[in-house]
Amino acid sequence: MANDFKPMYQHLPYIEIPTETQHSWEGWDAIHHELERALARLARPRVVIAVECYHGTLDEANFQELKKRLQPGASCKATHLFQESEVLRELIRRRMYGESGSAGFTGLSLYDYFDPQKLLAIQHSINSIEEGIVLIYGPGASLVLKPDLLIYADMSHWEIQQRLRRGDTNNIGLDNAKASFEQKYQIAFFNDWQACNQLKRELLHRSDYFLETNNWAKPKLATGEIVRRGLEQATRQPIKMAPFFDPELWEQLPYHNGHSKKSPPLEWWFSCVPEEDNLLFRFGGLLFEVPLLNLVFYKPESFLGLEVVRTFGAYLPVRFNFIDTTETQDTDFQLNPITDEIVDSLGCRYRQATGYYLLRAQAGAKLELAGPEQHPQVLKVKELGLQQHDFVQIPPNIPYRAGKKLTALQINTAPQIFSLRLPPPAAEEKLAAGFVEVIRHPEAPEGQEEVLSRDIILLTRNWFSKSLDFNSRGTINILLLVAGQSAVVESPAGLFQPFLARYGETFIIPAGVGAYRIRPLGKPGQLHALLRASVAPE
């Protein structure tokens, strides 16, 4: 491969899925025309269409658009067949908090939401219809009656959070759109998304179409066949997630998300949060977003690797978050408690561990850790002055927070909801004794792999100015260039197209890729550094 290879950078890094026929459509009119063609192909006097919805879809808008165009003889929203909101609220509260008082997974499925009498009555009514279109819409729609045409209306967790913040949507079956974001998010995480994921894992294999409504004004439809083909392709090559942007973390910059062509000046992408990220496919010229979770559920062993699935379930135990604090910003202290593994209703296992990798050296940058023995009113604080490329692993049961002037990569093994947020103390006292190791950056020999952490995940760093050869060895690799402008990822056997990796952009090598090579771009001899995370061996 020529050294002057300069691939085109994509601000929206999509996976191209070749197709000779049309498999995707944008806008309600185009979607309607395709569904009419699908109904004609079925050629049945009565057709039951189920639009199964993930939590967060704008039910009323989408339902009305479909009804207006399809003109069904009968229609219903699955949520109208649920138990009363107050009954569900109490059921969720009891299952979520139990006797401990702390939040946990409820284990509820969407079946548990239905009122048995309402469900039997609508099934009897539909079965008495002999011809025409019957439209069932909403979370649990596919459970009401076996459909002739199954459409899955999918949602990104990131977009759901924005809708929860704005009060645009509520929790499934609850009339609580105006409740606090924190309350709604907790119910969504421990209950709604779990219930939807149980059903999604099954329906990914047999949905006729997928409806993407992250941008509600521009709905998109794709065939189940092409989406599944895209997910297959994504297990055989390096991938990046569609970037999203959090305006709450960057108040000085304009709002940006994956639909915008503009790039924030610093080009920080929050791009490895498995539960929230999307993959971006291009089907015949149309960009189509699919939650990364769909790949985890559809091809867990090919994507994550057999060892990861055995250890964690269908769950990616790596989260990279960029942290950039200001000169005056103070964040709350957090703590990773020493607990047994938390297991969700899908059998995924969570345990939180946190580390910080300093990306930029700023005068006064610091990470604050409190003493192991803390008092509710007085917090003993140790400030770690950090240098560029330092790494700190946070011990369990040690309160920590990102101090001022910190530009770092926060590496977690579980969502932040499993870390405890501590109330501000009445006073803080400086602590002289050290109780945490800081891994400095000596001039490590080129090509030598440094182990930074073995806490749940294996985190390593390589300094290089020439090509490095790696092998996924049957487990997922998550990588990030932390020094140097760019590198190209190649398959020694030519099994995938050359792939551009730029500074600060997380990318993933699926478990099934095998051998891959990373070659630095730019001036000859320029030093690059690569972080690589994988599952730590037992």
> Taking each helix axis from N to C terminus, what angle separates 59-70 and 28-42, rounded to the nearest 10 degrees?
60
* Residue burial 253-292, b: 16+ Cβ < 10 Å; e: rest: eeebbbeeeeebeeebbbbbbbbbbbbbbbbbebbbbbbb
The 10s digit of each residue's pLDDT in 173-212 is 999 999 999 999 999 999 999 999 999 999 999 999 999 9
pLDDT band of 327, cuts 50, 70, 90: low
Beta-sheet pairing, 132-138 with 74-77:
parallel
Per-residue b or e along 438-457, where b marks 16 or more CB atoms closer than 10 Å to that residue's CB? bbebeeeeeeeebebbebbb
> What is the Cα–Cα distance from 21 to 419, expressed in whole angstroms?
48
Point out which residues pair with 478 in neighbouring strands: 508, 533
For residue 8, the model assigns a pLDDT of 40
> How many CB atoms are closer than 10 A to CB 332?
11
Average pLDDT, whole number, for the chain?
Answer: 87
CATH number assigned to the domain with residue range 28-218, chosen from the 4 options 3.40.50.150, 3.60.21.10, 3.40.50.300, 3.30.450.40: 3.40.50.300
Summarised one tens digit per residue, pLDDT across range 74-112 is: 999 999 999 999 999 999 999 999 777 788 999 999 999
Q: What is the mean pLDDT of residues 331-335?
A: 82
- The string of pLDDT tens digits covering residues 472-521 is 999 999 999 999 999 999 999 999 999 999 998 899 999 999 999 999 99
Provide the pLDDT confidence category of residue 379 given band limits of 50, 70 and 90.
Answer: confident
Tokens 């179409």: give the residue: 209
Position 255 scores a pLDDT of: 36
In degrees rounded to 5, what are phi and psi of residue 340?
Answer: -70, 160
**Stated pTM of the model:** 0.89
Question: Within 13 Å of residue 107, how many CA atoms lie on the same side as its CB?
Answer: 7
Q: What DSSP designation does 191 have? A: I
Domain with CATH 2.60.120.10 in the chain: 449-535
Q: What is the pLDDT of residue 1?
A: 39
> What is the domain class of 449-535 according to CATH?
mainly beta
Place of tokens 């790596």: 318
Contact 368, 401 (CB under 8 A): yes
Work out the average pLDDT over 362-366. 84
Question: Which CATH number is associated with domain 318-439?
Answer: 2.60.120
Selected residue with higher pLDDT from 227 and 371? 227
Arithmetic mean of pLDDT, 372-387: 75
pLDDT of 329 reads 60
Hey, which residues does 483 pair with through a beta bridge? 529
Encoded tokens for 329: 């910003």
Q: How confident is the model at residue 254 (pLDDT cuts 50, 70, 90)?
A: very low
Lowest mean pLDDT among 293-302, 343-352, 363-372, 412-421: 363-372
Q: What residues contact 425, with CB distance under 8 A and at least 6 apart? A: 375, 376, 377, 378, 379
DSSP track, 232-300: HHHTSS-B-PBP---TTT-TTS----TT-S---TT-----B-TTT-EEEEEETTEEEEEEHHHHHHHSH
As a whole-number percent, the residues of the chain with pLDDT over 90 amount to: 61
pLDDT (0 to 100) of residue 242? 81
- What is the predicted pLDDT for the residue at 67? 95
Q: Quote the tokens at residue 215.
A: 């941008």
CA terminus-to-terminus distance, the chain: 38
The pLDDT tens digits for 383-394 are 888 889 999 999
**pLDDT tens string 57-68:** 988 889 999 999
* Of 144, 293, 279, 272, nearest in space to 222 by CA: 279
Spatial distance between the Cα atoms of 38 and 41, rounded to a whole number of angstroms = 5
How far is Cα 532 from Cα 487, in angstroms, rounded to an integer? Answer: 14
- For residue 11, the model assigns a pLDDT of 56
**pLDDT reported for residue 443:** 59
252 contacts: CB under 8 Å, gap ≥ 6: none
For the chain, where do the domains classified as CATH 3.40.50.300 start and end? Answer: 28-218
pLDDT at 7 over 50: no
